[in-house]
A and B are shown apart, each in its own frame.
Chain A
């Protein structure tokens, strides 16, 4: 019996070799290209997705290992692109080329789900697996801090 996987709340049959990383299943089979290829070794974070809510590097995660699990990609982070992080990214005008930003945002979303009052140092530690070559780090720091405030503000 073929295995299946849930991606952005939709179920897909895994019809590729077992060892194919989730990244290439997403990109080449499902044509969900928001998740980017950067290094293929889990070194740069461009391919970050959520596996049951946890930030995971999809370039080193065999698709067979995540069968039956629930995956969220940048395309499924929010219905209308209005996740507090996405809004903070726009407000801070974070992107330059933008290539790494999906991975940055997915990594930050998983981090903020477990930390509602991150310090600057905690943000640094959480985000240091994600490389940005254009140099948007200052704005990423600010956007993550802003989003945390928005998400956890006292109502």
Chain B
């Protein structure tokens, strides 16, 4: 990583920023080298920058995308902390799509903090060093006699002060510190505290602009009806009635675009407002040729997956001899776990504005990956991706869905055809029925147990249409990478075999918050509890024994931290005295490691008949250092809500190739009246910070299933437990 002084560069003027003051860029070596090799020095753009104005106003850019996870507060706060900036003087701007400038902007995998924490802090510390050097020059003293505090540099010899604004222009002439010293944990003023989101004032007054909110002169509005089945195509379309509707400009066919993130194909109406477009769309008579996936039925398919995992499948990993271990075992246990498709269903449906002109293309979109918009639109328009200018708006939730940009590519088609900026807002029905769904899945586990109740063998088969099928439709089962979570699980089992069962994709599969950790967490966490009941052991004891059996030095840390989180969760939830719970109540516990973070959860429920009431959830997280304690806590509260939705009720159902669920009445996400009490505890740690957006989901469903079993004796092995019949 390099930190560069950008104060004199011309691009600042081009970006309309005030000149003067101090501007620092952060860049990764490969980019700067490439730029200088090509002689593009004058065009060189840094990855991110800090701009301190002559009046002290400080602007920090966030290149990672914001969808509610709080990254556009957490990363700038890390810069501001090292900079010793006064947070009230800091404003934050979302960077446009430009990966040369900001580094990877593909915001997923709970990776932002893991990747950006140190570079952001070093940038802040470098700027602080330059401000101190400038002050030292003014006072003609050694820099060691100067300290920075809350937007001022202080001369320790006489307590004189100079503000950052006064120093900024002089600071810009100082050398950039090569290896700036970072603060110790005790010196942090923002990191690890609970700063409010920088944009919450705009949220509560309705001023924040989301993907659906972009307005501009000449804007036209679109509505779209998609091909209901993956791989289908348009057979016939009668546009005549729709074209008669007042305010309708065009009815446009959008063919399937051959890119994993491209449109599935559809017919759209462009009108002078969204309502007219939506109404006219109903007047378009469309016939689809549904193609080879037209008989896809997710209920039937799930049963097929069960067969595929209850029979020998393709061996992926083995250690020891699992067949021998099971045949020689004192006791054996087997179970099959399943789960349905899920739709991300963020509150903001897919929406963007695209304006394609002869020599430019501008996009305003809620997105998790502006770089993919550039690539896909570049491919569609046959232009250089760099020529696609992507303004990243706040996303009204995303959960993985807005990583894909089919909705943006469709808006580009419409804009190109009507030669105007077009805002395409998907209906809720389009959003629910044209997804990149979480995989439907089945897993089968068989275990051998010795006389002491120790697990000696573990056979684990999984079958689910993998995300890889989106990129290569010939992939007919989970590839090794998607199965490796089984062999890499930190349970220490001497004899283990993982197998991959056939699972051909009949719809588009995508990343959903926590991805495969949802069902791997469910199977591992539930089966451990089933083993404990089978062998009449305490689940926490059994889990600890399973971890202790792992002697692999590379997994020592995973074992230690998993057990650490589990112990605190057991303590918080009064696990030891769970027998004293009132009648009909039960406590369940699970721990799961995913996205480099450890989460243990204990769930307390009350079960009466079919009614499952979640009363309280204790969450214990070890994610290393916590950047923002409040939004970290919010991520866990959110994981509980999403975990309850997917554990109890939500499932996307396919029949005759198409999604049946239309809107929230058929996809009953959790509402406020079912919200349990949630207690969140972070393990105190100096380890490097890891992500939090996803890992809260892994342990929730198994902890809930285990609690329901404890309360009622009923074992749920299929997610969701209480599917709606639609």
Whether B347 lies near A93 (C-beta < 8 A) is no
Give the complex CA separation of A46 and B664 in angstroms: 12
Within 8 A of B (CB), among A73-116: 73-75, 77, 81, 86, 89-90, 93-102, 105
Whether B675 lies near A98 (C-beta < 8 A) is no
The contact size tier of chain A is 35 or more
Give the complex CA separation of A77 and B677 in angstroms: 30
Give the complex CA separation of A102 and B204 in angstroms: 6
Find chain B residues with CB under 8 A from A98 CB. 68, 199-200, 203, 208, 394, 396
A 100-144 binary contact with B (CB < 8 Å = 1; else 0)? 111001000000000000000001110111111111111111000
Whether A124 lies near B665 (C-beta < 8 A) is no
Whether A136 lies near B638 (C-beta < 8 A) is yes
Q: Which of B204, B345, B630 contacts A101 (CB 8 A)?
A: B204
Whether B347 lies near A38 (C-beta < 8 A) is yes
Q: Which of A28, A46, A86, A94 contacts B347 (CB 8 A)?
A: A46
If A138-B675, A138-B678 touch, does A96 touch B69 (CB 8 Å cutoff)?
Answer: yes
Q: Which of A105, A134, A140 contacts B397 (CB 8 A)?
A: A134
Q: Does B386 contact A (CB under 8 A)?
A: no
Whether B196 lies near A73 (C-beta < 8 A) is no
Q: Does A16 contact B (CB under 8 A)?
A: yes
Q: Which of B394, B639, B641, B673 contacts A97 (CB 8 A)?
A: B394
Shortest distance between the CB of B508 and any CB in chain A (Å): 20
B 225-267 binary contact with A (CB < 8 Å = 1; else 0)? 0000000000000000000001100000000000000000000
Give the complex CA separation of A137 and B640 in angstroms: 11
Q: Does B346 contact A (CB under 8 A)?
A: yes
B 255-297 binary contact with A (CB < 8 Å = 1; else 0)? 0000000000000000001111011000000000000000000
Whether B206 lies near A133 (C-beta < 8 A) is no
Whether B665 lies near A43 (C-beta < 8 A) is yes
Which of A16, A28, A86, A125 has the most CB atoms of chain B within a 10 A radius of its CB?
A: A28
If A86-B204, A93-B197 touch, does A141 touch B394 (CB 8 Å cutoff)?
Answer: no
In the complex, residue of chain B having the shortest beta-carbon distance to the beta carbon of A96: B68
Give the complex CA separation of A138 and B679 in angstroms: 11
Whether A95 lies near B397 (C-beta < 8 A) is no
Q: Does B481 contact A (CB under 8 A)?
A: no
Find chain B residues with CB under 8 A from A141 CB. 672, 675
Whether B273 lies near A136 (C-beta < 8 A) is no
Whether A43 lies near B638 (C-beta < 8 A) is no
In the complex, residue of chain A having the shortest beta-carbon distance to the beta carbon of B677: A138
Q: Does A13 contact B (CB under 8 A)?
A: no
Find chain A residues with CB under 8 A from B199 CB. 98
Q: Does B304 contact A (CB under 8 A)?
A: no
Shortest distance between the CB of B644 and any CB in chain A (Å): 9
Find chain A residues with CB under 8 A from B200 CB. 89-90, 93-95, 98
The contact size tier of chain B is 35 or more
Give the complex CA separation of A125 and B674 in angstroms: 10
Give the complex CA separation of A24 and B637 in angstroms: 33
Find chain A residues with CB under 8 A from B273 CB. 16, 20, 24, 28-29
Find chain A residues with CB under 8 A from B347 CB. 36, 38, 44, 46, 97, 99-100, 131-134
Q: Does B496 contact A (CB under 8 A)?
A: no
B 610-650 binary contact with A (CB < 8 Å = 1; else 0)? 00000000000000000000110010011111100000000
Q: Does B21 contact A (CB under 8 A)?
A: no
Q: Does A27 contact B (CB under 8 A)?
A: yes
Q: Which of A41, A44, A96 contacts B638 (CB 8 A)?
A: A96
Give the complex CA separation of A27 and B277 in angstroms: 14
Q: Does B210 contact A (CB under 8 A)?
A: yes
Give the complex CA separation of A21 and B677 in angstroms: 37
Give the complex CA separation of A55 and B673 in angstroms: 19
If A33-B215, A135-B638 touch, does A99 touch B669 (CB 8 Å cutoff)?
Answer: no
Q: Does B484 contact A (CB under 8 A)?
A: no
Q: How many A-B residue pairs have CB under 8 A?
A: 194
Whether A40 lies near B348 (C-beta < 8 A) is no
Give the complex CA separation of A130 and B678 in angstroms: 20
If A39-B664, A99-B347 touch, does A135 touch B642 (CB 8 Å cutoff)?
Answer: yes
Find chain A residues with CB under 8 A from B209 CB. 33
Whether B205 lies near A127 (C-beta < 8 A) is no
In the complex, residue of chain A having the shortest beta-carbon distance to the beta carbon of B640: A135
Whether A43 lies near B664 (C-beta < 8 A) is yes
If A44-B347, A81-B205, A136-B634 touch, does A36 touch B673 (CB 8 Å cutoff)?
Answer: no
Give the complex CA separation of A34 and B205 in angstroms: 8
In the complex, residue of chain B having the shortest beta-carbon distance to the beta carbon of A88: B204
Find chain B residues with CB under 8 A from A101 CB. 203-204
Shortest distance between the CB of B242 and any CB in chain A (Å): 15
Within 8 A of B (CB), among A136-155: 136-141
Whether A140 lies near B672 (C-beta < 8 A) is yes
Q: Does B173 contact A (CB under 8 A)?
A: no
In the complex, residue of chain B having the shortest beta-carbon distance to the beta carbon of A143: B204
Whether B212 lies near A36 (C-beta < 8 A) is yes
Q: Does A56 contact B (CB under 8 A)?
A: no
Shortest distance between the CB of A104 and any CB in chain B (Å): 9
Whether B215 lies near A44 (C-beta < 8 A) is no
Q: Which of A86, A131, A140 contacts B664 (CB 8 A)?
A: A131
Give the complex CA separation of A95 and B347 in angstroms: 13
Find chain A residues with CB under 8 A from B642 CB. 133, 135
Find chain A residues with CB under 8 A from B395 CB. 97
Give the complex CA separation of A59 and B206 in angstroms: 17
Whether B672 lies near A21 (C-beta < 8 A) is no
Q: Which of B210, B630, B670, B678 contacts A99 (CB 8 A)?
A: B210
Find chain B residues with CB under 8 A from A39 CB. 428, 663-664
Q: Does B207 contact A (CB under 8 A)?
A: yes
Find chain B residues with CB under 8 A from A40 CB. 278, 427-428, 663
In the complex, residue of chain B having the shortest beta-carbon distance to the beta carbon of A91: B196
Q: Does B13 contact A (CB under 8 A)?
A: no
Which of A17, A38, A41, A98 has the most CB atoms of chain B within a 10 A radius of its CB?
A: A98
Give the complex CA separation of A93 and B279 in angstroms: 39
Q: Which of B194, B204, B213 contacts A95 (CB 8 A)?
A: B204
Q: Does A2 contact B (CB under 8 A)?
A: no
Whether A135 lies near B639 (C-beta < 8 A) is yes
Whether A20 lies near B210 (C-beta < 8 A) is no
Q: Does B425 contact A (CB under 8 A)?
A: yes
Find chain B residues with CB under 8 A from A93 CB. 194, 196-197, 200, 630-631, 634
Give the complex CA separation of A46 and B207 in angstroms: 15
Q: Does A31 contact B (CB under 8 A)?
A: yes
A 1-32 binary contact with B (CB < 8 Å = 1; else 0)? 00000000000000011011100100111011
In the complex, residue of chain A having the shortest beta-carbon distance to the beta carbon of B345: A133
In the complex, residue of chain B having the shortest beta-carbon distance to the beta carbon of A24: B275
Shortest distance between the CB of A33 and any CB in chain B (Å): 4
Q: Does B67 contact A (CB under 8 A)?
A: yes
Find chain B residues with CB under 8 A from A35 CB. 206
Instruction: For the A-B complex with A81-B204, A124-B673 known, give 5 more contacts whose Cβ atoms are closer than 8 Å.
Output: A40-B663, A93-B200, A93-B630, A95-B203, A133-B397
Considering the complex of A and B, which 9 residue pairs feature the smallest CB-CB distances, nearest first?
A34-B206, A97-B68, A135-B641, A99-B396, A74-B206, A135-B638, A98-B203, A96-B68, A24-B275
Contacts from B to A (Cβ < 8 Å) = 67-70, 194, 196-197, 199-201, 203-210, 212-213, 215, 221, 246-247, 273-276, 278-279, 345-349, 394-399, 425, 427-428, 630-631, 634, 637-642, 663-665, 669-673, 675, 677-678
A-B residue pairs in contact (CB < 8 Å), sample of 23: A27-B274, A38-B347, A40-B278, A40-B427, A41-B663, A43-B663, A44-B347, A46-B347, A73-B206, A75-B206, A77-B205, A86-B204, A94-B200, A95-B68, A95-B204, A98-B394, A133-B397, A133-B669, A134-B641, A135-B640, A135-B641, A138-B675, A138-B678
Contacts from A to B (Cβ < 8 Å) = 16-17, 19-21, 24, 27-29, 31-41, 43-44, 46, 73-75, 77, 81, 86, 89-90, 93-102, 105, 123-125, 127-141
